[in-house]
Amino acid sequence: MGPVNRTDVGGGGGVTGVPGGSGRGRGAGATGDAGPAEDAGPAEDAGPAGGAGAAAVVGGPGTPGVNLPALRSHNAALVLDLLRTAGAAGISRLELAERTGLTPQAVSKITARLRAEGLAAEAGRRASTGGKPRTVLRLVPEAGHAVGLHLDRDELTAVLCDLTGAVVAERRAPLDLGAGAHAVVEGAAGEVEALLGGVSPLGVGVALPGPLDHTLGVLHRVTGFPEWDGFALRDALAGRLGLPVVVDKDTNAAALGVAVGAGSGSVGGGSFAYLHLGTGLGAGLVIGGTVHRGARTGAGEFGHQVIQLDGPLCECGNRGCIEVLCLDAVGRGTLDEAARVLGAGAANLVGLLDIDLVLLGGRTVAAHEEVFVRGVGAVLGERARREGGGTAIPVGVAPGGARGVAEGAAQLLLAPLFGRGDG
């Protein structure tokens, strides 16, 4: 969707902890001051900046969902994202107008509100080809924060990220996902509270193994932990913390982080698969720059495609899943075999979705990056040679390292503010 050249309804939206912020734990929202129309263009699109399908974000159990992106105008999201990507060097109002297609008057009104709310600030002046030097504006990273929480089967990672996605604080702790819902929620909440240190964040993004329902924040039969089936994790954690919470699969969160993170320009607008090999195996799919979850958050259950009909029994109940074959090979120390199995699954994805790139992540990959990149790349290379007509799909290691999933979880709250994801 392009810009809408009318008044910026709701302005930049207040962010908790800055002037214009709204309510405890409510995150970003509209200011409610629409102001006069800036020109006679078409009416402002009041839809979510992040597109259709955004998850509801709740402030407590049983409360109606509050869709944060819907409270922020599309035009303000365009401007905020350009301020974000411009970095400390900043960008002028004229450049903002040129790159968004908004009128200079519209840009001036939006940026004035963003400055009044503490989201934008002057970054100096830049010489122009005529007339007085142009004022350059930048995003104020510390104007808002989000928590990213990665609940792995045996470890918890929590990060506090500013508006640019940069990590400003981090905590790690052992975790037993099989200890029961109450123990896990209490432990996770305690780590988040210790992480915050008085900061009032936009909310908490939680990433953990699936399957689960992203829209409702309800877990299904998490592989290896069927007792979580039907547990409303989002509502439980939101009620415990008094903050908005978004829940997604670990692989989707990591893929979102790659798609919208700093330095992702080469992949952010394309299609790629993020393959996560750690205590389990799954995939996050980005199609056309957007995380593809499917109608029931079922997309990306990559590890449970069967490739050996009479293979070993997987914890999901099937035999010969890629996950069990891959993890068995890792357990035996035959990493080259594990890489080939992962490559076979990656080749299936490439053939099915015609993606542009395969990225690898997870603790097992992080410990043996070269082996897995080489092994998966070899399988994809052989596939390309058999088919002819082009080069092999490139394989690389996803940015973010051991905290990539947690950083992506924070983006479940941050990305919709910039129109870069539906959270």
Residues 148-184 pLDDT 10s:
999 999 999 999 999 999 999 999 999 999 999 999 9
Range 190-194, long-range pairs (CB < 8 A, 24+ positions): 191/149, 191/156, 191/158, 192/147, 192/149, 192/158, 192/241, 193/241
Provide mean pLDDT across the span 344-351: 94
Write down the pLDDT at residue 420: 81
Unique residue bearing structure tokens 């990959």:
365
Cα separation, 243 vs 202, in Å, equals 8
Write down the pLDDT at residue 422: 62
Amino acid at 24: R
pTM (2 d.p.): 0.82
| Coil, helix or strand at residue 304 | helix
Write down the pLDDT at residue 261: 74
- How sure is the predictor about 56, in pLDDT bands with cuts at 50, 70 and 90? very low
Residue 7 has pLDDT above 60, yes or no: no
Other CB atoms closer than 10 Å to residue 317's CB: what's the count? 11
How do beta strands 395-397 and 357-361 pair? parallel
Provide mean pLDDT across the span 182-199: 96
- 58 - beta bridge partners? 245
More confident residue, 34 or 255: 255
Which of 213, 248, 250, 422 does the annotation list as catalytic?
Answer: 250
- How sure is the predictor about 35, in pLDDT bands with cuts at 50, 70 and 90? very low
Provide mean pLDDT across the span 277-306: 91
For 296, which DSSP code?
Answer: T
Residue 327 has pLDDT above 90, yes or no: yes
Write down the pLDDT at residue 224: 83
Question: For residue range 9-25, what is the model confidence (pLDDT) as tens digits?
Answer: 333 344 433 322 333 34
| % of the chain residues with pLDDT over 90 | 68
Query: Cβ distance 107 to 55 under 8 Å?
Result: no
Write down the pLDDT at residue 3: 62
Q: Would you call 250 a catalytic residue per the annotation? A: yes
Question: For residue range 100-142, what is the model confidence (pLDDT) as tens digits?
Answer: 999 999 999 999 999 999 999 999 888 776 677 889 999 999 9
Residue 324 has pLDDT above 90, yes or no: yes
Provide mean pLDDT across the span 52-60: 39
- How sure is the predictor about 66, in pLDDT bands with cuts at 50, 70 and 90? very low
Q: Residue 24: name the closest of 195, 200, 165, 166 by CA.
A: 200
Extract the tokens encoding 201: 């964040």
Do you find a cis peptide bond into 211, omega within 30 degrees of 0? yes
Query: Cβ distance 418 to 114 under 8 Å?
Result: no
Q: Residue 252: name the closest of 244, 243, 264, 260 by CA.
A: 260
- How sure is the predictor about 281, in pLDDT bands with cuts at 50, 70 and 90? very high
Range of weakest confidence among 192-206, 226-240, 264-278, 385-399: 264-278
Write down the pLDDT at residue 267: 61
Extract the tokens encoding 27: 């995150």
Residue 47 has pLDDT above 50, yes or no: no
Provide mean pLDDT across the span 76-91: 93
Per-chain mean pLDDT for the chain: 83
Provide mean pLDDT across the span 62-81: 60
Q: What is the DSSP string of 221-246?
A: -BTTBGGGTT--HHHHHHHHHTS-EE
Write down the pLDDT at residue 22: 31
- How sure is the predictor about 298, in pLDDT bands with cuts at 50, 70 and 90? confident
Other CB atoms closer than 10 Å to residue 43's CB: what's the count? 10
Question: For residue range 225-272, what is the model confidence (pLDDT) as tens digits?
Answer: 989 999 999 999 999 999 999 999 999 999 999 998 744 455 645 899
